[in-house]
Every structure is written in structure tokens, then in C-alpha cells.
């Protein structure tokens, strides 16, 4: 019947109630499982309360902790009450805080809290509060340096745990950040060459602390080092670079650092030191010549550490390697800001102007798979051709012809090195540009020949070595030997053409007779270093017995043609019937 209500039985009620209570229970459980929303902290800790707590010996530690916590909350939640601004407004000299460490009986924990308070204050006086309270930061810096370096040294002791040492490093960094004047004061009044350099070796082994940069002692030390270079004060930068072991101590640990730390350190040094023309080359050399500096950066070519920088997937493997290459290239190659020097005698004087680079090249591990190391060697020798002979003779490279991967890699490196060299050796072009009005010395033709030959024929390939290569039973070895020989003959041809071209020598101090003598002596010297024509013709005859050696035969014909064009006298005693 329409409109008639269904009567509930007693048996229906408990079932409905149980369903309802079950739903409520599920809702309550869901609410309990929901993450609690972070509430904005109460803005109730004032500078007045802070000062009162510091006057009570029992509440000192708690007061310092609450101040640091309030600073953190103000930054995170933009609280209305700015405790730092309020405190330095009523106490610009931070009298109450300084008084704590002036008793002489302060524990390392309390001292580190005092430094943490100063860190918070100094970061603001160097930042948004600088226009009004910049002088407060300067006052704090000077007072610490004049009366509390003992506390700094004591807190930085390796006997203390990292959580105590970190604030001391951070306050030093914040002091430097106050400006050029404060940075100069820190550099002059704090011992940068002392035990503080040991902190560059300290690492956090606890995986939980790896996520807290403020607790990582090595990272704090690196930031302290770099803070000086960010000031832009050239006098301070030079002073810091001269502090023994201060900057270079960081380099040795780079291969174990994360990508972000490597990026921070290398890019800052590159822009503020290496590329900085105001920094004398002698300061740069002193830094980069320190034990293990350049080789430590070169080790980053094999870096396989923590990648904590956001980059494209295809760049992940090359990111750190590219940072290392750019730093080394800019440090070693450009004359305008690198540590390389122009050697007018191209390594023939017996005194190397680029001994730092020579040592680095010899120490550099050049393997077949390390293309960036190969490229770096090529670029350094391109800018410093005076190192060509000394490097090839002293590097751990074997050039005795043999069909091994190592030999092929070594030959490939030599080929790349000489392909990057100028078509005409620089000593020849330098001689052509030398004017009679120049104060520079005019070299003898004998000296010119000695400088020029190393740019034509690799010194590591003696006559016997080349002869063994082109007569080797392995075809690939023959091809590489002939390639080296042909490229050398081509450079000789270019050099001879340059010498005989009168337009190149119009204003040169070298006369026509000088050039004729130079050409004659050069041909004699090169002839003694190249394989004799008899070994070439015998190799040609041997190749004719094997129809598969068409490539070798073609190269041999090219060699014979080059000999005939540039070294015609070598055929005078040749009995081969062409």
C-alpha cells in the first residue's frame, strides 16, 4: 500500500548500528593514518627572553638552542617576529653572547652553539640586513679575530665531533662573506696553513648525515676556502693562494667527492683564479704545481661517484669528466691565463720553462679508452711544442713495432699529436717574423735545425724504429709505420716550401744565404733520421710478392715519390731499377 512505512523489527536494529559504527571506525582509522599537517610554529620567542636566558647559567644552553631554532623557523615559515633583527637592534655588539665564551670555562658544545648563533647573525648582516646592520657583522668579525681565535682553534680540533667543528667552520665562512675588509682580516689573523687543512680530509661516514651538508666537515671546509675567492679582493685572493696547503689540500679528495661538490669547487676556482687575469701567473703555478693537484683533477676522468646534480640522462656519465677537462684545459693551454710559458728555443736550451706541465704529462695515465686524457695531451703539446721531444722520450710509452693494442694506442696518440701541430714548425715561422729591429737573439742555422726537426719527425721514431715498422710482417704495423713516415715527409715538404718562398722572409733578419744554409742543414739532418731508400725499395719488392698488399704498395709508392721530390740526393747510390 502506497505511503505505508515498513516496520523495523528488533532484529534489524543491531545490524544497522553495527554497520554504522564500523564505517565510523574506518573513518577514524583513516584520519589517524593521514600525515599530520605541519603547523606554523608559535611566534613567541623574543630577543628579550633570549637575553634573560643567557644571564642564567642554567638556561644558557637552552637559550642558544632556542635562538637558533627561532632563526630556522623564521626562514622556513616567514614568522612576523624577526629575532635576529630584534636582537642586534637592542644589542648590536652581541654582548650577552660574547660574554658566554669570555668566561674561559665554556664547553665545546656551548662554544659551538655560540658560533652557530653568530653564523645566523652574520648571514643576515651580509644579506638582507646589510644596508642597516652591516657594521654589526664587521664588529662581530673583528671581535672574534681579536679575542676569540683560541676558541675557534679549540673547537676545530679533531678531538671534537663533527657537530661541534662544523659551526666553527661555518662562522669563519660567514665572516669572510661580510666583505673584502673582513675577508682580508680573516686571511691575515687566522692560520690558514695550520691544522685546519686537516679538515679537508674529514668525511662523514654516517649515511644519515650525508644528507646534511651543514654537518659535512669537508664540505664546510671547501665552502670556507671558496668564500675568499668570492669576495673579489685580489690582494686577499693572492694571500690565500700563498697559504701553504690551504687550497691544494682540497684537490686530493676530489675523486671521492660527489658531483655537486666537484662542480662547486672546480667552477669557482676556474672563474675566480684560473681565468682571473689579476691573479699573477706565479700564484697559479704555485697552486697547480703542488703535489697531486693536476693529477687529482685528471683522476676525475675515471670518476664513478655520487651523481647528485640534475642533468640529462645522456650527460650523466660525462658531466664530471667534462668539468675536469675544462679545468685542466683552461689551466694548462691558453697563454693569456694558463700556467704555460712561451719557450722561444722550443726545448733545446736544456732549461724547461714548462717543467710543471711536463711532469703532469708524464704522470698522466693515458690509456686507449681515456679519450679526454688523449685530447688533453694533444692540446697541451699544441700550445707548448717545446715539450714534444721531452714528453715522447720520458712518457711511459713503448714505440718498438709490435702488433699489440698498447702499441697501436701509442701510435694513434702520436698521430693525433702531430696532426694537431702547425703544418710548418713554429721555429721556422718565428725566424721569418724576426726583424732586424728586434732585440731578440738571431739563432744560428744549426740551432734552427735542432728546433725544427722535432716538429717534423717524432723523436720517438728513430731510423731503426721506422725501418722495423715498415718492414714488419704484420700488415697493420706496416700501415701505421708508413703513415708516420708519410706525415713526416709532408711536414718536411711544407717546411721546405715555406723556406724557399721569398715573400715570407721580406723583412726577416735572415738573409737568402742564411735560408739556403738552413735548408741544406735541415735536409741533411732529416735524411739521417729517415729510413734509407734501400730499405724502402726492398720493402716494395717484398710487397709485390703478395697481391693482397695493395694498400701497402700504394703507400710505398707515395713514400718513394715524396723522397724523390724532397730528398733527391738519397737516390744517388740506389741501384733499384724503377
- Match 577514524 to its residue by C-alpha cell: 28
Average pLDDT over residues 556-572: 90
The pTM for the full model equals: 0.87
**Residue 342 C-alpha from the chain's centroid:** 23
Q: What is the 3-state secondary structure (H, E, C) of 141-197?
A: HHHHHHHCHHHHHHHCCCCCCHHHHHHHHHHHHHHHCCCHHHHHHHHHHCCCCCHHH
Of the candidate ranges 59-73, 235-249, 465-479, 539-553, the one whose mean pLDDT is the lowest: 539-553
Average pLDDT over residues 376-402: 93
Residue 150: the pLDDT is 93
User: Is the pLDDT reported for residue 211 higher than 80?
Assistant: no
CA dihedral 188→192→193→196, nearest 10 degrees, is: 150
Q: Which grid cell sits at 509?
A: 733578419
Q: Which grid cell sits at 446?
A: 744549426
Residue 575: the pLDDT is 65
Distances (CA, A) of 78 to 42, 82, 86, 132, 536: 12, 9, 15, 20, 84
Q: What is the 3-state secondary structure (H, E, C) of 70-89?
A: HHHHHHHHCCCCCHHHHHHH
What is the per-residue pLDDT across 72-113, written as a single tens digit (0 to 9) for each?
A: 888 776 667 789 999 999 999 999 999 999 877 889 999 999
Residue 24: the pLDDT is 55
d(CA 232, CA 236) in angstroms, rounded, equals 8
What average pLDDT does the structure give for the chain?
Answer: 88
Of the candidate ranges 188-192, 202-206, 425-429, the one whose mean pLDDT is the lowest: 202-206
d(CA 314, CA 532) in angstroms, rounded, equals 51
Q: Which pairs with CB-CB distance under 8 Å and at least 24 residues apart come from 267-274? A: 267/323, 268/226, 268/229, 268/230, 269/226, 269/229, 269/327, 270/326, 270/327, 270/330, 272/229, 272/230, 272/232, 272/237, 273/229, 273/237, 273/241, 274/327, 274/330, 274/331, 274/337, 274/338
Work out the angle between the directed axes of helices 180-189 and 130-147 (0-180°, nearest 10).
10
- Give the three-class secondary structure for 363: helix
What is the per-residue pLDDT across 162-185, written as a single tens digit (0 to 9) for each?
A: 999 999 999 999 999 999 999 999
User: Is the pLDDT reported for residue 224 higher than 80?
Assistant: yes
Helix, strand, coil percent values for the chain (each to nearest 5)? 65, 0, 35
Angle at 34 between CA 31 and CA 38, to 5 degrees: 115
d(CA 417, CA 57) in angstroms, rounded, equals 72
Residue 551: the pLDDT is 86
How confident is residue 2, by pLDDT bands cut at 50, 70 and 90? very low
- Give the three-class secondary structure for 435: strand
User: Is the pLDDT reported for residue 29 higher than 60?
Assistant: no
User: Is the pLDDT reported for residue 28 higher than 90?
Assistant: no
Residue 38: the pLDDT is 45
d(CA 453, CA 304) in angstroms, rounded, equals 42
How confident is residue 384, by pLDDT bands cut at 50, 70 and 90? very high
What is the per-residue pLDDT across 102-161, written as a single tens digit (0 to 9) for each?
A: 877 889 999 999 999 999 999 999 999 999 999 999 999 999 999 999 999 999 998 999
What is the per-residue pLDDT across 303-362, written as a single tens digit (0 to 9) for each?
A: 999 999 998 888 888 999 999 999 999 999 999 999 999 999 999 988 888 999 999 999
Burial category of 266 from C-beta neighbours within 10 Å (exposed 0-12, middle 13-18, buried 19 and up): buried
d(CA 111, CA 116) in angstroms, rounded, equals 9
Residue 1: the pLDDT is 41
User: Is the pLDDT reported for residue 36 higher than 80?
Assistant: no
d(CA 97, CA 95) in angstroms, rounded, equals 6
d(CA 96, CA 43) in angstroms, rounded, equals 22
d(CA 185, CA 146) in angstroms, rounded, equals 10
d(CA 185, CA 246) in angstroms, rounded, equals 16
> Domain map of the chain by residue range?
44-230, 420-577
Amino acid at each position: 500500500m502506497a505511503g505505508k512505512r515498513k516496520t523495523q523489527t528488533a532484529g534489524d536494529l543491531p545490524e544497522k548500528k553495527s554497520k554504522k559504527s564500523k564505517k565510523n571506525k574506518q573513518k577514524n582509522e583513516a584520519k589517524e593514518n593521514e600525515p599530520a599537517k605541519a603547523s606554523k610554529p608559535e611566534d613567541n620567542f623574543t630577543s628579550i627572553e633570549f637575553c634573560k636566558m643567557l644571564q642564567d647559567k642554567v638556561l644558557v644552553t637552552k637559550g642558544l638552542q632556542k635562538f637558533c631554532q627561532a632563526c630556522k623557523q623564521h626562514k622556513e615559515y616567514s614568522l612576523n617576529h624577526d629575532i635576529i633583527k630584534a636582537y642586534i637592534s637592542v644589542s648590536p655588539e652581541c654582548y650577552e653572547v660574547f660574554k658566554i665564551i669570555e668566561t674561559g670555562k665554556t664547553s665545546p658544545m656551548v662554544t659551538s652553539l655560540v658560533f652557530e648563533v653568530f653564523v645566523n647573525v652574520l648571514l643576515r648582516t651580509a644579506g638582507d640586513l646589510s644596508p642597516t646592520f652591516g657594521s654589526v657583522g664587521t664588529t662581530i668579525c673583528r671581535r672574534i679575530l681579536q679575542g676569540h681565535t683560541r676558541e675557534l682553534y679549540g673547537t676545530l680540533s679533531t678531538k671534537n665531533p663533527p657537530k661541534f667543528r662544523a659551526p666553527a667552520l661555518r662562522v669563519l665562512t660567514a665572516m669572510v662573506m661580510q666583505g673584502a675588509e673582513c675577508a682580508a682580516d680573516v686571511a691575515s689573523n687566522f692560520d690558514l696553513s695550520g691544522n685546519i687543512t686537516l679538515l679537508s680530509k674529514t668525511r662523514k661516514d654516517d649515511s644519515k648525515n650525508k644528507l646534511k651538508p651543514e654537518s659535512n666537515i669537508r664540505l664546510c671546509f671547501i665552502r670556507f676556502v671558496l668564500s675568499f675567492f668570492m669576495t673579489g679582493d685580489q690582494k686577499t685572493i693572492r694571500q690565500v693562494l700563498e697559504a701553504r696547503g690551504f687550497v691544494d689540500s682540497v684537490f686530493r679528495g676530489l675523486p671521492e667527492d660527489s658531483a655537486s661538490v666537484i662542480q662547486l669547487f672546480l667552477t669557482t676556482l676556474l672563474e675566480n683564479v684560473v681565468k682571473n687575469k689579476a691573479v699573477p701567473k706565479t700564484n697559479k703555478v704555485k697552486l697547480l704545481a703542488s703535489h697531486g693537484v693536476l693529477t687529482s683533477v685528471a683522476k676525475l676522468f675515471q670518476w664513478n661517484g655520487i651523481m647528485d646534480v640534475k642533468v640529462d640522462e645522456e650527460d650523466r656519465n660525462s658531466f664530471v669528466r667534462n668539468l675536469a677537462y675544462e679545468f685542466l684545459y683552461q689551466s694548462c693551454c691558453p697563454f693569456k691565463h694558463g700556467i704555460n710559458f712561451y719557450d722561444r728555443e722550443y726545448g733545446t736550451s736544456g732549461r724547461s720553462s714548462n717543467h710543471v706541465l711536463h711532469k703532469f704529462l708524464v704522470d698522466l695515465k693515458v690509456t686507449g679508452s681515456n679519450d679526454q686524457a688523449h685530447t688533453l695531451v694533444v692540446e697541451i703539446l699544441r700550445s707548448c711544442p717545446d715539450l714534444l721531444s721531452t714528453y715522447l722520450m720520458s712518457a711511459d710509452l713503448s714505440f718498438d713495432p709490435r702488433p699489440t693494442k698498447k702499441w697501436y694506442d701509442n701510435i694513434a696518440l702520436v698521430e693525433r699529436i702531430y696532426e694537431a701541430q702547425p703544418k710548418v714548425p713554429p721555429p721556422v715561422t718565428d725566424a721569418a717574423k724576426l726583424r732586424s729591429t728586434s732585440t731578440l737573439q738571431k739563432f744560428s742555422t744549426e740551432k734552427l735545425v735542432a728546433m725544427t726537426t722535432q716538429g717534423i719527425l717524432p723523436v720517438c721514431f728513430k731510423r731503426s724504429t721506422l725501418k722495423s715498422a715498415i718492414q714488419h710482417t704484420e700488415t697493420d704495423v706496416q700501415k701505421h709505420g708508413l703513415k708516420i713516415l708519410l706525415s713526416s715527409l709532408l711536414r718536411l715538404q711544407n717546411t721546405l716550401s715555406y723556406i724557399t718562398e721569398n715573400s715570407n722572409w721580406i723583412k726577416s733578419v735572415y738573409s737568402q744565404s742564411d735560408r739556403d744554409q738552413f735548408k741544406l742543414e735541415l735536409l741533411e739532418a732529416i735524411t739521417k733520421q729517415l729510413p734509407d731508400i734501400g730499405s724502402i725499395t726492398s720493402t716494395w719488392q717484398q710487397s709485390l710478392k703478395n697481391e693482397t698488399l695493395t694498400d701497402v704498395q700504394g703507400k710505398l709508392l707515395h713514400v718513394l715519390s715524396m723522397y724523390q721530390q724532397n730528398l733527391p740526393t738519397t737516390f744517388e747510390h740506389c741501384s733499384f731499377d724503377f
